[in-house]
Chain A
């Protein structure tokens, strides 16, 4: 390393002068660091006002202000402070903001400070200092591993009413405000040659190497400051400080248009085939997002190659009472000092099993912090300058109320000693961040020399791992791995990159002697501070035979919740291995799954919330219907008019009854554009439809329409509609609104996969035509006023089931179909969609003299029930053509989808369900859809079930409620009185079995 260190001027602290000035406000603020000077930022924690600086996290600012206590633990409500300085934090969970923007369980260690930040502690009552639930701590012997399983087993009846509410109230961490989140969240899609995950020395070197080669590069880091550990350490790169080198690298990356640098962006998961999920926090570091701007963005990144350069996470050592606020990881203490110019206390001790811990002591001493002891578990620990070294010693207990005051040591000589300190920096070695390598079932392997798991086995496709994430802990090794990794990844893509000459950097080896926990002591030594799991709990799990790592996790909750055991899993595994008499690699690790860190539901939902949950489809008459005050209903994505209330109508039934009666008595108009329309052409179009529909189409004359029923291959009916023949080789078929997509998909399947040589072409035309049903005895008279006079639509010239191309309104192209869903004399008329709005107005104007009414989906439903037409309730996935009374329609002379299997014995039994109608014996009784049918007398049971009612409505024509449904042998039971029962509501009425065709059973009206 060079002696000359160039400081990164723009990021170093230089503003408000002396140490004294900084200390004046913030007792534990040091000199230097990468925080920015200038005006301090003001924030509150539990209502108390504090000051911090730009570049602080909430945790660093609180520590600077002498606040170590930041939260209460999950189970025992033990007072806790931050253990770490990063996203692995188990303890310092807080609630940020309030109202709709309140966010629970946020790690104070990654919450970027901004002016006006409002933070509150959670999981405590009435206050963080005096938490009533800390009483749990007294009962800790009772609340051990498996507590829930053992305690709440019985009586079973207590579970739902008593146990679950108690547990739910006591458990859980933060709270939510129940106010709607006012912010927007975006989704987005990015593509790259190389995705670099992590912007420490490895990642930056990789991005520089790949960027210089012209590759499309994305480099993402969860931190708001690039550089990773370079910001937390004092050693430099070449002639520069770490931070200055980062700044230089960042400037070069920013100058390359082929490189996208994404700070504040966490890669949350590695998915199949190079797809990565990333959450970019675009506005979490400001008071509120600008109008229209998202708080966060969920990116889907398509990468050709990826490099995991996610660094490593330090792990603690477990010892008695190691959870007092002030006990922290050594690397975190160093980061607070070097990056944030903060010390957790003015006196600090260090407890380590490796050389890295000594760096913390050295850096603190250099910053003027008093280091009261360096306790190294290794008897051959290296010498320390400026502090007392206890080699071969251990920390066996701690003291202090709501924060650390002293630690008790067991020295190598066997005697104990108390050392005063307000913070203890603990290092148990470093674990490479292998998480993303395991998202596709990769299993890490143990490396003895660093006493840690490293990526191994099958990594996600096209992912490579480099630097500390791969177990190469020195800065020099990281730079080399980043450069070489980028060259290798790009060469696989045919892009030539050069590693070039790398700057000099520290290259110290990691000397670590595994040491997981201090065996001495009867109290609790905490492994997983977030879930309050102790060494004893792991021992208990072992004793009770929950020995596989996955069982250990579920039984003790070790490694669960927001931190997913990033600092605790390793210790638990090591202890389990020791108890089982196994090696650590034999015990293995639990499976890491996405997301890497917690992800908000808001960003998962993106913009698909509320009314924008999915796109809305509007009918051509929508604007006009709105003007009429129509009530709309969602039918799939469509918004359809449900009914059109008139002045004075106070109940929907009044509107619907009026629409039905007026249609049946004169004429009504309904927008039926939503029906699926598929254009079928080709020489084999008729033959193709023969395959699609159960009934025959080959002989349908040009200019005619035919009803068609579609079966699934298992013989169950699934859709119906009409097919109109416009030419020998041209049909337009309709589907139900709900099944339009499915029918089209099935038709394409038949065309491409079953009958690939048929000459048939398909395309949807649903949206291209605005189609209106004009129904009622005056339908023809009305249409004659709209259809251009050269087209004769008299009954003779244009009979029932006719179709043709015409013009309307003086030359507008249109299609006319004489089909009827209502049972009345009816037509459907279609014009190009852009004219749909004008057409509905024209039709209503022409219908004025007849008192024409628009009708909505309710009246449509009533009329089709009155007519006994099947719809979705009848085509319910269990019914065949036979059940629907269309058994004879299924042609036996030709092959069609579903034909063969519809002939199965079970589908053709004598007592098969048949579609019939039902009228209440007492006209005032309402018929209910879903009611089951029972014989007039006898038991009401599943065994005596005779069928069920599928659709019911009040028929204004009959003046009573009516229903249609399926009854065993229904077609031969007309006139019989049976019971329609609804055991759920304790209702039962008598109904008479009638024809499903309540209105005009002979069909005279529609032919008239």
Chain B
């Protein structure tokens, strides 16, 4: 799972497998996503503008507005809170994303590796709305592409990123509860579909 396994330790996915898991339903595919590296980026006191410009040149695009996410090339970023973003990049090429980002930001920002703090499930298909409304209180039917909503699913705090309304989402939750989150998604899918 990733070329950085060239040391003596072999990675496992949040669900405990060596390959990401997939669950297919009529009109919905739930897919465990393990190929992204994550790093949080917080602006230091009074350094918001510097963070914006340094991040923009590193990411090749501006940091997103509140409750939004944006992809630019291989990077993507979503808003987590005031002056706080999560940046993601392909794990294979950016396992050391936090270090790279810190290099780019210097004293202007605080960067923390978050890759393995999270698990991510992709949801794809026409039944996304029906399944999501059994899981969280986000107003998904009124959502737009690029929304990044912090919400909770079965008591778990998650980020819900909308790629295409009603068709494609990412659900990003705490890694230690990957099993519970996956169970919630699959149960909701079975319930609806």
A, B bound: yes
Chain B residues closer than 8 Å to A809, beta-carbon distance: 7-9
Chain A residues closer than 8 Å to B46, beta-carbon distance: 759
Q: Is the CB of A834 within 8 A of B1?
A: yes
Q: Is the CB of B180 within 8 A of A616?
A: yes
Closest to A809 in B: B8
- Range class of the A interface residue count: 35 or more
**A833 interface residue per 8 A CB criterion:** yes
In the assembled complex, the CB of B158 is this many whole angstroms from the nearest CB of chain A, namely: 11
**A188 interface residue per 8 A CB criterion:** yes
In the assembled complex, the CB of A794 is this many whole angstroms from the nearest CB of chain B, namely: 22
A615-B155, A616-B177, A766-B117 as given contacts; A835 in contact with B42, CB under 8 Å: no
**B13 interface residue per 8 A CB criterion:** yes
**A757 interface residue per 8 A CB criterion:** yes
Closest to B177 in A: A615
Chain B residues closer than 8 Å to A768, beta-carbon distance: 113-117, 175
In the assembled complex, the CB of B34 is this many whole angstroms from the nearest CB of chain A, namely: 8
Chain B residues closer than 8 Å to A811, beta-carbon distance: 6-7
A615-B181, A767-B176 as given contacts; A834 in contact with B13, CB under 8 Å: yes
| Residues from 266 to 292 in A contacting B, C-beta threshold 8 Å | 291-292
Question: How far apart sit A612 and B179, CA to CA, in the bound complex (Å)?
Answer: 11
Q: Is the CB of B116 within 8 A of A833?
A: yes
Closest to A674 in B: B176
Chain A residues closer than 8 Å to B180, beta-carbon distance: 612, 615-617
Question: How far apart sit A303 and B67, CA to CA, in the bound complex (Å)?
Answer: 22
**B50 interface residue per 8 A CB criterion:** no
Chain B residues closer than 8 Å to A673, beta-carbon distance: 176
Closest to A752 in B: B82
**A638 interface residue per 8 A CB criterion:** yes
Q: Is the CB of B45 within 8 A of A834?
A: no
Closest to A623 in B: B16
Chain B residues closer than 8 Å to A730, beta-carbon distance: 110
Q: Is the CB of A292 within 8 A of B8?
A: no
Q: Is the CB of B176 within 8 A of A618?
A: yes
**B144 interface residue per 8 A CB criterion:** no
Question: How far apart sit A797 and B191, CA to CA, in the bound complex (Å)?
Answer: 58
**A447 interface residue per 8 A CB criterion:** no
Chain B residues closer than 8 Å to A293, beta-carbon distance: 190-191
Chain B residues closer than 8 Å to A894, beta-carbon distance: none
| Residues from 735 to 786 in A contacting B, C-beta threshold 8 Å | 757-761, 763-770
CB-defined interface of B42-53 with A at 8 Å, one 1/0 digit per residue? 101110000000
Q: Pick from B113, B115, B177, B187: contact of A292, CB below 8 A.
A: B187
| Residues from 25 to 49 in B contacting A, C-beta threshold 8 Å | 34, 40, 42, 44-46
Q: Pick from A190, A300, A839: contact of B9, CB below 8 A.
A: A839
Q: Pick from A216, A300, A619: contact of B176, CB below 8 A.
A: A619
Q: Pick from B44, B141, B142: contact of A761, CB below 8 A.
A: B44
In the assembled complex, the CB of B65 is this many whole angstroms from the nearest CB of chain A, namely: 20
**B118 interface residue per 8 A CB criterion:** yes
Q: Is the CB of A812 within 8 A of B191?
A: no
Chain A residues closer than 8 Å to B178, beta-carbon distance: 618
**B11 interface residue per 8 A CB criterion:** yes
| Residues from 561 to 612 in A contacting B, C-beta threshold 8 Å | 607-608, 612
Q: Is the CB of B141 within 8 A of A681?
A: no
Q: Is the CB of A637 within 8 A of B177?
A: yes
Question: How far apart sit A1005 and B7, CA to CA, in the bound complex (Å)?
Answer: 33
| Residues from 107 to 121 in A contacting B, C-beta threshold 8 Å | none
Chain B residues closer than 8 Å to A839, beta-carbon distance: 9
**A837 interface residue per 8 A CB criterion:** yes
Q: Is the CB of A294 within 8 A of B191?
A: yes
In the assembled complex, the CB of A471 is this many whole angstroms from the nearest CB of chain B, namely: 35
Question: How far apart sit A834 and B12, CA to CA, in the bound complex (Å)?
Answer: 5
Chain A residues closer than 8 Å to B155, beta-carbon distance: 608, 614-615
CB-defined interface of A714-737 with B at 8 Å, one 1/0 digit per residue? 000000000000000110000000
Closest to A617 in B: B176
Chain B residues closer than 8 Å to A835, beta-carbon distance: 9-11
Question: How far apart sit A187 and B132, CA to CA, in the bound complex (Å)?
Answer: 11
| Residues from 679 to 710 in A contacting B, C-beta threshold 8 Å | 679, 681-684
Q: Pick from B40, B141, B176: contact of A763, CB below 8 A.
A: B40
Chain B residues closer than 8 Å to A617, beta-carbon distance: 174, 176-177, 180
Question: How far apart sit A758 and B46, CA to CA, in the bound complex (Å)?
Answer: 10
Question: How far apart sit A191 and B132, CA to CA, in the bound complex (Å)?
Answer: 12
Closest to A626 in B: B16
**B145 interface residue per 8 A CB criterion:** no
In the assembled complex, the CB of B52 is this many whole angstroms from the nearest CB of chain A, namely: 16
**A189 interface residue per 8 A CB criterion:** yes
In the assembled complex, the CB of B39 is this many whole angstroms from the nearest CB of chain A, namely: 10
**A906 interface residue per 8 A CB criterion:** no
Chain B residues closer than 8 Å to A623, beta-carbon distance: 12, 16
Q: Is the CB of B134 within 8 A of A188?
A: yes
Chain B residues closer than 8 Å to A189, beta-carbon distance: 133, 136-138
Q: Pick from A616, A831, A837: contact of B179, CB below 8 A.
A: A616
Question: How far apart sit A361 and B188, CA to CA, in the bound complex (Å)?
Answer: 50
Chain A residues closer than 8 Å to B181, beta-carbon distance: 615
**B62 interface residue per 8 A CB criterion:** no
Closest to B151 in A: A189
Q: Is the CB of B110 within 8 A of A761?
A: yes
In the assembled complex, the CB of A284 is this many whole angstroms from the nearest CB of chain B, namely: 16
**B156 interface residue per 8 A CB criterion:** yes
Closest to A811 in B: B7
In the assembled complex, the CB of B58 is this many whole angstroms from the nearest CB of chain A, namely: 18
A615-B155, A623-B16 as given contacts; A191 in contact with B191, CB under 8 Å: no
In the assembled complex, the CB of B163 is this many whole angstroms from the nearest CB of chain A, namely: 20
CB-defined interface of A800-820 with B at 8 Å, one 1/0 digit per residue? 000000011111100000000
Question: How far apart sit A810 and B8, CA to CA, in the bound complex (Å)?
Answer: 6
**B164 interface residue per 8 A CB criterion:** no
Q: Pick from B44, B118, B190: contact of A682, CB below 8 A.
A: B44
Question: How far apart sit A637 and B13, CA to CA, in the bound complex (Å)?
Answer: 20
**A238 interface residue per 8 A CB criterion:** no
In the assembled complex, the CB of A762 is this many whole angstroms from the nearest CB of chain B, namely: 8
In the assembled complex, the CB of A677 is this many whole angstroms from the nearest CB of chain B, namely: 10
In the assembled complex, the CB of B95 is this many whole angstroms from the nearest CB of chain A, namely: 8
Question: How far apart sit A833 and B11, CA to CA, in the bound complex (Å)?
Answer: 8
Chain A residues closer than 8 Å to B177, beta-carbon distance: 615-618, 637
Q: Is the CB of A188 within 8 A of B133?
A: yes
CB-defined interface of A862-874 with B at 8 Å, one 1/0 digit per residue? 0000000000000
Closest to A673 in B: B176
**A832 interface residue per 8 A CB criterion:** yes
Q: Is the CB of B139 within 8 A of A810?
A: no
Q: Pick from B44, B112, B191: contact of A184, CB below 8 A.
A: B191
Question: How far apart sit A616 and B110, CA to CA, in the bound complex (Å)?
Answer: 31
Q: Is the CB of B8 within 8 A of A812?
A: yes
In the assembled complex, the CB of A512 is this many whole angstroms from the nearest CB of chain B, namely: 44
**A554 interface residue per 8 A CB criterion:** no
A302-B137, A810-B7 as given contacts; A679 in contact with B176, CB under 8 Å: no
Closest to A292 in B: B190
Closest to B83 in A: A761
CB-defined interface of B180-193 with A at 8 Å, one 1/0 digit per residue? 11011001101100
Question: How far apart sit A768 and B12, CA to CA, in the bound complex (Å)?
Answer: 13
Q: Is the CB of A618 within 8 A of B179?
A: yes
Q: Is the CB of A681 within 8 A of B110?
A: yes
In the assembled complex, the CB of B183 is this many whole angstroms from the nearest CB of chain A, namely: 7
In the assembled complex, the CB of A96 is this many whole angstroms from the nearest CB of chain B, namely: 22
Q: Is the CB of B115 within 8 A of A832?
A: yes
Closest to A191 in B: B139
Question: How far apart sit A269 and B38, CA to CA, in the bound complex (Å)?
Answer: 43
**A838 interface residue per 8 A CB criterion:** yes
Q: Could you jot down 10 A-B contacts, CB within 8 Å? A: A191-B139, A608-B154, A612-B180, A682-B44, A759-B45, A761-B42, A763-B84, A765-B112, A831-B9, A835-B9
The 10 closest A-B pairs by CB, nearest first: A809-B8, A292-B190, A833-B116, A615-B180, A681-B110, A759-B45, A768-B117, A838-B9, A761-B42, A834-B11
- Chain B residues with CB under 8 Å of chain A are 1, 6-14, 16, 34, 40, 42, 44-46, 84, 110, 112-118, 133-134, 136-139, 141-142, 154-156, 174-181, 183-184, 187-188, 190-191
